[in-house]
Amino acid sequence: MEGRVTYENDDLNLKATELRLGLPGTDETDDHEQAISTARNNKRPSPDTTDDCVNKSRSDEAAPVAKAQIVGWPPIRSYRKNTLQPKKTEAEAPGIYVKVSMDGAPYLRKIDLKVYKGYPELLKALENMFKFTIGQYSEREGYKGSEYAPTYEDKDGDWMLVGDVPWDMFMTSCKRLRIMKGSEARGLGCGV
């Protein structure tokens, strides 16, 4: 077994920069020693190294050591880590699927509301799906310029015009979509 070898001048300590997963000490002892010694050396800004040198060696070796290799760092309870991580999986959580019917179409479709960031995207997707055009939305007149109007059934069972409420609220209250056509559609718009 080699004894206490110093690594003062071993700047190209490639082993230490190697990204690997493992507990400290699971490698052969000399690798471990190396990693620790090198980390030690990089930690101590000796009088004749410039700031640049310290920064460089820190960013080359200490950064990967800090972020990729260290078990148990930062010292956060695993329970807390595991609980907060689901923040990512919430994006993967089950979508909000609603049925979409179109007056005159032989069968219904289903879409995932979570996929869309807002009304423009949703309406565009519906237009593509059913091959029709939706008119221009305005609060006063609903969807003008087309014989179609997108509507939805809300939690209370009422049929509402798509677009009146904020998107988030729509997402949580929409039970199903129906694209109305013809005179019915015009009726909702309060136009003549």
CB 142 within 8 A of CB 161: yes
187 contacts another protein (rule: CB under 8 A): no
Q: Is the peptide bond before 74 cis (omega within 30 degrees of 0)?
A: yes
CB 149 within 8 A of CB 143: yes
24 contacts another protein (rule: CB under 8 A): yes
Question: What SS3 class is residue 72?
Answer: coil
79 contacts another protein (rule: CB under 8 A): yes
**Which CB atom, from 71 or from 190, has the smaller least distance to another protein?**
71
136 contacts another protein (rule: CB under 8 A): no
- Among 10, 11, 31, 33, interactor with another protein by CB under 8 A: 33
For residue 168, give the H/E element and its range: helix 167-173
172 contacts another protein (rule: CB under 8 A): yes
- Distance from C-alpha of 100 to C-alpha of 117, rounded to nearest angstrom: 18
Q: How far is the CB of 32 from another protein (least distance, A)?
A: 7
Q: How far is the CB of 166 from another protein (least distance, A)?
A: 9
CB 114 within 8 A of CB 96: yes
What is the contact surface with another protein in residues (CB under 8 A)?
1, 23-26, 29, 32-33, 36, 39-40, 42-45, 51, 54, 58, 62-63, 66-67, 70-81, 83-84, 87, 155, 165, 168-169, 172-173
